[in-house]
Chains A and B, each alone.
Chain A
Amino acid sequence: MSKYRLYLLISTISIAIFGARMVNGRDIKLTTINILMPAPFADSTSKSIERFNNTHKGNIKIKVTKGPRETESVSDLAISNLLLGNSTYDIILMDVTWLPKYASAGWLMPLDSWFVRKDLKELAPGARLGNRFKNKLYRWPLVADMGLLYWRKDLMSSPPKTPYELIKLTEKLISQGKVKYGYVWQGRQYEGLSCVFLELIEGFGGKWLSKTNEVGLNNKEAKEVASWLRDLIERGITPASVTNFSEPEALQAFKSGEAALMRNWPYAYAELQKEDSNVKNKIGITTMISKKGGETTSTLGSWGFVVLKTSKHPDKAIKVIKFLTSETSQRDLFISYGYTPTKASLYKDKNLLETSPILPELARALEATKPRPETPFYAQLSDILQRELSSILTGQNNVEDAMNNAHSKTVKILRSSGAYR
């Protein structure tokens, strides 16, 4: 008798479980939205994502793929995935320079029907840049990012505003023995060098590539920038080893207290305020130096979400993007990780202003941002410029020839692409 009961019990339970499963599977559709992000972003957004997954239980689930740390490696991963045709991702968090290339490869979904004028108005002016290509909106910004000039409050009362002031001030500090180096920046042959150059050429009153696709690399201003950078090395204001400096090396020199000025991104501020920093509470931020005729410029380097054309759930993907870029989520990211917000309202937020002394400066820098040339051939243009600048900085070639080379090669690329007469 008891044996019979046991069988009955087991079969009832199994039918119950099995049945429930079937009902479950039929009635509720769980959509998974796959996002590819560089590892640091995946870590910093993990709390917001958990919150989203909890409130949308059984409906939408965000799955994040942690990409590599290095910017271009994330693009490599994304591209290899996209080339296979049916991408596994719905959303990619992308750097500002990739957009024209991805859009002309036909990989991105235009977002105009989901983001209306009101949404755009809520963005800080600098964050509105770099999201469009050929008059279509493809990207929605998560973090604003821009080049900054870091200066030492204990060594100067205000940061230099012109190239001349910078040289005068740093040479004085070096001769007084207060610092070993005057100014450190990114001189390695890589994308950072192009960012350094863009800020200076705009500041000197020139253009790398104008809106009408005119190349300005053989102009007086471009050559002045190159000579000025070379001059910094020759005068010993910048160490000669700058030609293999990327962000970490520059940060290291500035953090150790051996440099008076540094060009870097906003992330460096938090690093410099850590306990192991020799310049804690001694730093200010501002925008890049400029000359008469030019304007102080920050290279735009923001990260934003795009939806891939192959995504089967664009509506839900947009819902995810709107959640992750919302004011609440951006406030969290700024307080916990120092990510520069893209929503204009946050720059006037009293609580944030109290917690962060640099927010007004960041807002000012965001207004001074300019994007790098927005063409699908940007990677080629940047590569040409980096090569030629690197040959100038290392003394392999003179400014005149190298910049003329850069100019003619750039024109050639643009001409073969049909973007140039």
Chain B
Amino acid sequence: MNYLLLIPATLLLLLVFGFPLIRYFWLSLHASSVLTGLEPIYNNGANWIRLISDGRFWQDLYQTSRFAVFSVGIEMILALVIALLLNNEWKSKQIYRSITLLPWALPTTIMALSWRWIFNTPYGPIDQILNLIGFNNLNILSNPSLAWVGTVIADVWKTTPFIALILLAGLQTIPVDLYEAFRLEGGSPKQSFLYITLPLLKPYLLLGLIFRLAQAFGVFDLIQVMTGGGPASSTESLAIYSYLNAMRFLDFGYSSTIMLASFMILIFVCLSAYIVTITITNNFRRYKL
């Protein structure tokens, strides 16, 4: 009987989540482009065969994963540090907390455009400073082996506060008594971090990790504005490739295939991240760090 109450919410979820997925799946089995006059025509899985042999898809998958792993990894570590700092009882801590959140509050396109000028050679501040102290220009966004680092830096700057906020919320749920008792028993600060903070923070770490992985995997606006996927396609993400196919090439069948494939990969990635994090944190005590 209680389950009846879930019906409205379930219906809503199916509508906004299930329907588009089914539609994507259906479109991915059809040719629907300028060639077919935008009419969907069943094509025997040709889109999927094309996807498997499409070197650009695999290159973009690699680049997207590289972006996601590096930016989320760095963000998690930085955010933990920031959250621990902010959790201290400081004078006017509210001000620090608000300042930390500022990058997160900025619209992505605006901050991406600013970073594009910050990294600009020769007019951006980074290269100007390098020149002043006698180094060569870095050409960061113009160099295919460095440009992705630029996008990771911008993303870390922008989204670390978001994870920090989640972790800070988690830290505040840990009762102070626990730490006091542990100290009385002779535990060191390092041990109290490993045996109290980390395990109790686990659900929040997981939440931040999965939120951010999903977001970073679908990164679009930041890269579109900063590099447009270049130079030499070295920063192109799956979302940009899918967008190109849909909006520029009007090839909706193939675009849906890319989107659906990256969705399935993302689910797999998030599940693995979940399992890995659970195992690591559960086994902390065994490692006797």
Contact = CB atoms under 8 A, between A and B. Distances in A.
Interface in B119-152: 120-123, 137, 139, 141-144, 147
Interface residues of B, number: 29
Contact of B230 (A377, A380, A390): A390
Interface in A235-269: 239-244, 249, 252-253, 256
Contact of A105 (B34, B147, B228, B244): B34
Interface in A189-204: 189-190
A187 B141 CA distance: 12
Interface stretch (A3-11, A20-28, A71-79, A330-338): A71-79
Contacts of B249: 377, 379-380, 383
B203 to A, nearest CB: 38
A242 B142 contact: yes
A79 B231 contact: no
A104 interface: yes
Contacts of A189: 227-233
Given A72-B248, A383-B248, A390-B230, A240 B139 contact: yes
B230 A101 contact: no
Contacts of A397: 232
B90 to A, nearest CB: 41
Given A241-B137, A244-B227, A383-B244, A390 B233 contact: yes
* Residue in B121, B144, B233, B248 whose Cβ sees the most chain A Cβ within 10 Å: B248
A304 B147 CA distance: 36
B52 interface: no
B12 interface: no
B247 A79 contact: yes
B43 to A, nearest CB: 12
B232 A391 contact: yes
A377 B233 CA distance: 20
Interface in B128-186: 137, 139, 141-144, 147
A44 interface: no
A208 to B, nearest CB: 18
Contacts of B122: 180, 239, 241, 253
A253 B244 CA distance: 30
Among A101, A253, A380, max chain B CB count under 10 A is at A380
B137 A240 contact: yes
Interface in A365-406: 376-377, 379-380, 383, 386-387, 390-391, 393-394, 396-397
A252 B141 contact: no
A76 B233 contact: no
A76 to B, nearest CB: 5
**Which of A76, A243, A387, A393 has the most CB atoms of chain B within a 10 A radius of its CB?**
A243
A249 B120 contact: yes
Nearest to B244: A383
Interface in A167-224: 180, 187-190
A355 interface: no
Contacts of B232: 189, 243, 387, 390-391, 393-394, 396-397
A417 B249 CA distance: 12
A293 interface: no
Interface in B1-44: 34-35, 37-38
Interface string B50-92: 0000000000000000000000000000000000000000000
B34 A376 contact: yes
Contacts of B229: 189
B266 interface: no
Contact of A244 (B34, B141, B244): B141
Interface residues of A, number: 40
B256 to A, nearest CB: 13
Contacts of B227: 188-189, 244
Interface string A55-84: 000000000000000001001100110000
Interface in B221-249: 227-234, 244, 247-249
Contacts of A106: 37-38
B139 A241 contact: yes
B254 to A, nearest CB: 11
A243 B123 contact: no
A302 B231 CA distance: 27
B93 to A, nearest CB: 40
Interface in B178-229: 227-229
Contacts of A244: 116, 120-121, 141-142, 147, 227, 230-231
B118 interface: no
Given A189-B232, A379-B249, A380-B249, A394 B37 contact: no
B49 to A, nearest CB: 14
Contacts of A379: 244, 248-249
B250 interface: yes
Nearest to A392: B232
A75 B143 CA distance: 29
Given A383-B244, A396-B144, A243 B137 contact: no
A211 to B, nearest CB: 20
Nearest to B233: A387
B152 to A, nearest CB: 16
A105 B252 CA distance: 12
B250 A394 contact: no
A47 B244 CA distance: 36
Contact of B231 (A101, A252, A256, A393): A393
Interface of B: 34-35, 37-38, 116, 120-123, 137, 139, 141-144, 147, 227-234, 244, 247-250
26 contacts: A72-B248, A75-B247, A79-B247, A79-B250, A101-B250, A104-B34, A189-B228, A189-B229, A189-B230, A189-B232, A189-B233, A241-B139, A242-B142, A243-B231, A244-B120, A244-B230, A249-B120, A253-B123, A379-B244, A383-B248, A387-B232, A387-B233, A390-B231, A394-B143, A397-B232, A416-B35
Given A106-B37, A243-B230, 17 more contacts: A101-B250, A104-B34, A106-B38, A187-B142, A188-B227, A240-B142, A241-B121, A241-B139, A241-B142, A243-B143, A256-B123, A377-B34, A390-B230, A391-B232, A394-B142, A394-B231, A418-B35
